[in-house]
Amino acid sequence: MSNANPSKTLVHVDLTVADMERSLAFYTKALGLLVLEDCVLETEAAYFLSAGTCRKMRMVFLTSGNTSSMMVELIQLLDDGGQAASAASSRCREVILAFLVSDLGEVARAMAEHGQHPVSDVFEIQLTQLGRAQVVFYRDPDGYLVEFVEFAYR
């Protein structure tokens, strides 16, 4: 096995939440975090994260305001009408560590060398403020999702 180890930076932690407004109030008012991005997407990534029950999700990225700080991403799964999908949310409440990488192909090769294979397809996501990204998910030895994100900067 080679020592291929693609450069990774922890960019955000994803929290799947049941009530976005309640969570936003906590993180912005109690913790003082600032909203960097707030959008609703219809994406195959939502379908993956909801175990096939939802195709939409609301994503809110929060930051401390320090440009080098790691973000918290709140995810709320939504039904076809855009309402909170509580059954899916409660079933899929997870913590996801997301790493920023420069090349998803390099990550895939390095992970394969260590016997790790993705648990999702590569999804393309278009964020209104942060731009276009490609993401793919793996699982760690305890079953937590690990997301790799490659941004195509504007």
Tell me how many domains the chain contains: 1
In a domain, 2, yes or no: no
Where residue 21 sits, what CATH number does that domain have?
Answer: 3.10.180.10
In a domain, 13, yes or no: yes
> Residue 67: its pLDDT value, please?
66
> Residue 79: its pLDDT value, please?
80
DSSP state for residue 62 in the 8-state scheme: E
Q: pLDDT grade, residue 90 (50/70/90)? A: very low
> Residue 93: its pLDDT value, please?
63
In a domain, 131, yes or no: yes
In a domain, 57, yes or no: yes
Domain range for 145 is 8-152
Question: Average pLDDT in the 96-115 region?
Answer: 91
> Residue 36: its pLDDT value, please?
92
Summarize the chain as % helix, strand, coil (round to 5).
20, 40, 35
CB 58 within 8 A of CB 39: yes
DSSP for 95-110, written as a single string: EEEEEEES-HHHHHHH
In a domain, 60, yes or no: yes
In a domain, 23, yes or no: yes
Phi-psi region of 115 (alpha: psi -120 to 50; beta: other; left: phi over 0): left
What's the gap between Cα 75 and its chain centre?
Answer: 8
Q: What is the pLDDT of residues 1-54, one digit of tens each?
A: 344 556 678 889 998 888 899 899 988 998 788 999 999 999 999 999 888 888
CB 73 within 8 A of CB 104: no
> Residue 5: its pLDDT value, please?
58
In a domain, 3, yes or no: no
CB 118 within 8 A of CB 99: no
| pTM score | 0.74
Residue 89 has pLDDT above 80, yes or no: no
Residue 68 has pLDDT above 80, yes or no: no
Note the helical H segments in 15-154. 20-25, 44-49, 86-91, 104-113
In a domain, 1, yes or no: no
